[in-house]
Structure 1
Amino acid sequence: MPDSLTPRPDLLRVSYDDYRALPAIANSDLSRLRDALDGKLPRRDSGSGALSFGTAFHTALLEPDEYVAGQPGLNDTLIWWLVEGVQLNTELSRLLAGGLTERSAVFTEPVTDTLCKLRADLVVDLPGEPYTVIDFKTTLARDADHFRWQCAAYDYDRQAAFYTDALRADRFLLVGVQKVEPFGVFPLEVPADMLAEGRRKYMHLLRLLRAPATAPAYRAEAVRAAVERLSLGE
């Protein structure tokens, strides 16, 4: 973890396109490297221009004034129903009211000296309360226990650790929001053991970015290509 005396990076209010253009490594970039290491094909943009359900939900919840109804393939009623479900949770509603939404940050990871970036759904910095980062995930999980399993299986633990360490957060909440009946909401304060595993994951990938030649021989070409796509080189 970063030194406790290290100042937090500034929280930036920038558009998503400007955030994507920042020349730094994001958690999603680490996912691309993980895919290469696992032998999966590179992710491709569908090019359809269709807004994903998850993106639409995040907009409705975090930036409701920016939500555009009637997008192809989206059920506006369902999206707003899920938003209402989150807002009916008293604690989440309070945090949403007191927090900063869709804030970005640029920082240097100190161990690997890698310039990185993040974009947080919600950051809550209130007097007398723990500095809290919250990320909302639409999910098909059956219940809270299933969602907790997904957090490790889908590397949400890596994201939690990456953001927690960068922002020196006191706690990180992952909130699962069921997009099918019974439309439950599953807040999970990520525990220390899950953060430790997530930290192991992101540090392993950052080191691999810096030294792709250390990848297993049978994945070396795919890892090298992934690194080149991230414009880091060897």
Structure 2
Amino acid sequence: MPDLLPTPAHRPDLLRVSYDDYRALPAIANSDLSRLRDALDGRPPRTDSGSGALSFGTAFHTALLEPDDYRAGQPGLNDTLVWWLVEGVKLNTELNQLLAQGLTERSALFTEPTTGTLCKLRADLVLDQPGQPYTVIDFKTTLARDADHFRWQCSAYDYDRQAAFYTDALRAERFLLVGVQKVEPFGVFPLEVPAEMLAEGRRKYMNLLKLLQAPATAPAYRAAAVQAAVAALGL
């Protein structure tokens, strides 16, 4: 029997706010959980360094989801490659239809019911159309060799956690992770996240939310790093 999850009475409102305003919302995002995971795993704290990979991913998302806001000629970016990847996504009939019908870059605030934690999310694309499953889509640029390698990355890089976090919050009926190769042959790998992957992602985010509420439960050899990560979140 599948897990019976507590669900809110209704879906949280989808908000159209700038990225800076979203960042300023006093709530826990999936990226915050990644920082807590890094502390628990003994990884160095993350910094928003504006690395080439991040800049390329941001540029691709802007070109795909908010093309009117795309700024060409930014240092270190290959505009031709960015738009080539966008065209590759749109050659997929289903993805092109989702892009045409969906809402892009929408944010939401919600309270996770088990821990009572105020959380937030920002979805790449949400499809809420009559007669169609409520669908959330997230695009990932990737160096994966093929679709199987991308599926492995979804678990290894905790994309499954993001999928479960968003699915549960928005009561989505379908979550698509779309890998977009940024090197030849520039493949596109849509993955409808299966129930077992969502279950593993749910376990991950619930464990981190519980740790966030009770950082003293971290293993002693990671306690200082976890406490520092929680303090950095400003709770």
Correspondence 1:146-185 to 2 at 5 A: 146-185=149-188
Shift of 1:181: 0.2
- The sequence identity of aligned pairs, in percent, is 85
User: 2:26 is matched with which residue?
Assistant: 23
Equivalenced residues, count: 232
Q: Hey, which bits of structure 1, 4+ residues long, moved more than 6 A?
A: 47-51
Q: Distance in 1 between matches of 2:175 and 2:15?
A: 19
2:121 to 113, 118, 121: 118
Counterpart residue identity of residue 97, structure 2: R
Counterpart residue identity of residue 9, structure 2: T
Structure 1 residues 40 and 48: CA distance shift in structure 2, 3 A: closer
User: 2:91 is matched with which residue?
Assistant: 88
Shift of 1:51: 6.6
Question: Contact conserved, 2:52 with 2:76, CA < 8 A, in 1?
Answer: no
1:32 to 18, 29, 35: 35
Question: Contact conserved, 1:50 with 1:71, CA < 8 A, in 2?
Answer: no
Shift of 1:45: 2.5
Question: Contact conserved, 1:133 with 1:173, CA < 8 A, in 2?
Answer: yes
Q: Distance in 2 between matches of 1:149 and 1:48?
A: 24
User: 1:11 is matched with which residue?
Assistant: 14
Q: Distance in 2 between matches of 1:55 and 1:147?
A: 19
Structure 1 residues 205 and 5: CA distance shift in structure 2, 3 A: closer
Q: Distance in 2 between matches of 1:5 and 1:20?
A: 24
Q: Distance in 1 between matches of 2:51 and 2:143?
A: 24
SS across alignment from 1:52 = helix
Shift of 1:5: 5.8
Shift of 1:44: 1.5
Q: Distance in 1 between matches of 2:17 and 2:162?
A: 20
Counterpart residue identity of residue 193, structure 2: V
User: 1:65 is matched with which residue?
Assistant: 68
User: 2:146 is matched with which residue?
Assistant: 143
SS across alignment from 1:96 = helix
Q: Distance in 2 between matches of 1:84 and 1:132?
A: 22
Counterpart residue identity of residue 44, structure 1: T
Question: Contact conserved, 1:100 with 1:124, CA < 8 A, in 2?
Answer: yes
TM-score, length of structure 1 as denominator length: 0.96
Unpaired segments ≥5 residues, structure 2: none
Please give the per-residue CA displacement for 1:99-126, whole angstroms capped at 9, x wherever unaligned. Answer: 0000000000000000000000000011
Correspondence 1:212-223 to 2 at 5 A: 212-223=215-226
1:75 to 75, 78, 99: 78
Unpaired segments ≥5 residues, structure 1: none
User: 1:228 is matched with which residue?
Assistant: 231
SS across alignment from 1:104 = strand
Give the aligned CA root-mean-square deviation in angstroms.
1.5
Name which of structure 1's ranges 43-52 and 164-173 shifts more when overlaid on structure 2: 43-52
Structure 1 residues 162 and 96: CA distance shift in structure 2, 3 A: same
Q: Distance in 2 between matches of 1:227 and 1:14?
A: 26
